[in-house]
Amino acid sequence: MTWRGVLRKVVGGVGSLTPTRVPAPAVERPVREVLELAVRIGEAMLALGAPAAEVTDAIRRVSRVYELECQVDLTFTSIMVAHDGTERMPGVTVMRVVASPSADFERLARVVDQVERIVRSGPVVPAAEAAVDDEARDTVRESLAAAHAELDAVLAAPRTYRRGVVTLLLSAMAASVALLLGGGPVSVVLAAATTALIDSTFRVLAALRLPVFFLQLTGAAIATTVAVVVTVLAPYLPLEVSALPPALVVASGIVVLLAGGSLVGAADDAINGFPVTASGRLVEVMLLTIGIVVGIGAVLDLARRLGVGFVLDELPVGPWPVAVQVLGAAGASAAWAMASYATVRTALLAGATGATAFVVAMLLGGTGVAPAAASALGALAIGFAAEALGPRVRVPAIVLTICGIVPLLPGLAIYRGMLALVNGDDPTQGFELLLQAGITGLALAAGVTLGEILARRTGASDRRLIPGYIRRTLRRR
């Protein structure tokens, strides 16, 4: 015997522990498998941008198909579902960590459509019965396997558009915003080119796995740098400065960067009783917005130190008629929907909601209503229409609302507020403009959520309220 063996015998005890894995009892497996399907569906919906209330409702509806009542605890990064158990079986709890949110409206619509089909199929076999009956267990297992396979196919399917196409769509969105703000042809082209540069830079930085905060900061800095360069070169260009307002370039880029922030989702979660998830979304939105503000402020401060001056009230003169601006609003919403991988049909619906919101806000603003209130009422119209028509056209309401508020995002107010702060002539005005931008953002979120609530409370989603020929038209794909 070696000296190691002698020492082991003298010291005594077992040299190491043998890890063991205790499988779930057979009586728990059907229940656990049902909960795993429900949680996977909820995880996919939350990661793709669905609000917490819809995710919780989907999990419970899928569980009830198998006659299981469960408790759902949902945060911004995890989902936990628990079944209390019965006399035949103990309680079962399933938890999943949610991946970083990534907007993909086509996948979200397909997952929601799968939930509806699972619910419409009716009860399969009670999970409690499947726990004690072999034939019932086989039926449940086949049903769950088919549902898992369908969900896998949805999540593993290739993107609707290639990444280069998304860059072009974002450029079209920026061009539409510039058109909406009254920019001329040169401003529209420059805004599109600047956004293409920003998105291409994002693709390079994303490969380095930088946090989104630094991507937002970089994007805002690029847009502001282009504005500084235009200001410096303006005397040497064959164009008047008024024909190429640098503010439009920055404002268009800011709207593109702000469009990814789910302020609407945060407000929806908070109002519907999900404060933890709402806090997570709100912190994310605030962080992304601060990144934009820091990027703008850094470049403007550097330009001021170099002697480059900006005029705060440098705004376009609005050379386009109202019809063209409405077209720009529709184009911005539709382009953002497609940039988030929505289908052309969904993008057309999103463009219609964006144009509607802009027209409502513009008409109210023309009557003397405050900008924030006008934006809120425009957003309310979006929320009502999305909740009432979304289920009929098989498009999640959140898709229409997120895209519909794009024309109302306060990109120009953020830029002017930072410019006033950096110039130092009237810091109070800068804070007022930034506060106005924040109030407008909150008003948009509150208006959308209130519109959705009114649509549910008034029964606007009732199919009987819409003539049959319109219902048939809306249901067509």
pLDDT for residue 426: 65
pLDDT at 4 over 70: no
SS3 20: coil
> CA-CA distance, 285 to 424, in Å (whole number)?
27
Q: Are 347 and 337 in contact (CB under 8 A)?
A: yes
> CA-CA distance, 472 to 461, in Å (whole number)?
15
pLDDT at 42 over 60: yes
pLDDT at 13 over 80: no
Domains of the chain, residue spans: 29-156, 163-475
Please choose, from the candidates 341, 401, 330, 279, the residue with its C-alpha nearest in 3D space to the C-alpha of residue 103.
Answer: 341
Q: Per residue in 277-307, pLDDT tens?
A: 888 888 888 888 888 888 888 888 888 888 7
The answer to which of 10-24, 71-85, 270-284 has the lowest mean pLDDT is: 10-24
Q: Per residue in 173-224, pLDDT tens?
A: 888 888 887 777 888 888 899 989 998 998 888 888 888 888 889 988 998 8
Q: Which amino acid is at 146?
A: A
Average pLDDT over residues 46-67: 86
> Residue 241 to residues 11, 183, 235, 246: CA-CA distances in angstroms?
88, 12, 8, 8
pLDDT for residue 473: 44
| Helix and strand counts by DSSP (H, E) for the chain | 19, 3
pLDDT at 147 over 80: yes
Average pLDDT over residues 252-270: 73
Cβ count within 10 A of residue 313: 6
pLDDT tier for residue 334 given thresholds of 50, 70 and 90: very high
The answer to which of 145-154, 166-175, 403-412 has the lowest mean pLDDT is: 403-412
More confident residue, 444 or 348: 348
**Cβ contacts of residue 64 below 8 Å, gap of 6+?**
none
pLDDT at 137 over 80: no
Average pLDDT over residues 37-56: 87
Average pLDDT over residues 450-470: 63
The predicted model scores a pTM of 0.79
pLDDT tier for residue 59 given thresholds of 50, 70 and 90: very high
How does DSSP classify residue 98?
P
> Residue 185 to residues 44, 51, 181, 239, 255: CA-CA distances in angstroms?
41, 38, 12, 12, 19
Q: Are 324 and 435 in contact (CB under 8 A)?
A: no
Average pLDDT over residues 232-251: 70
Average pLDDT over residues 374-378: 87
> Residue 30 to residues 43, 58, 72, 155: CA-CA distances in angstroms?
20, 19, 18, 24
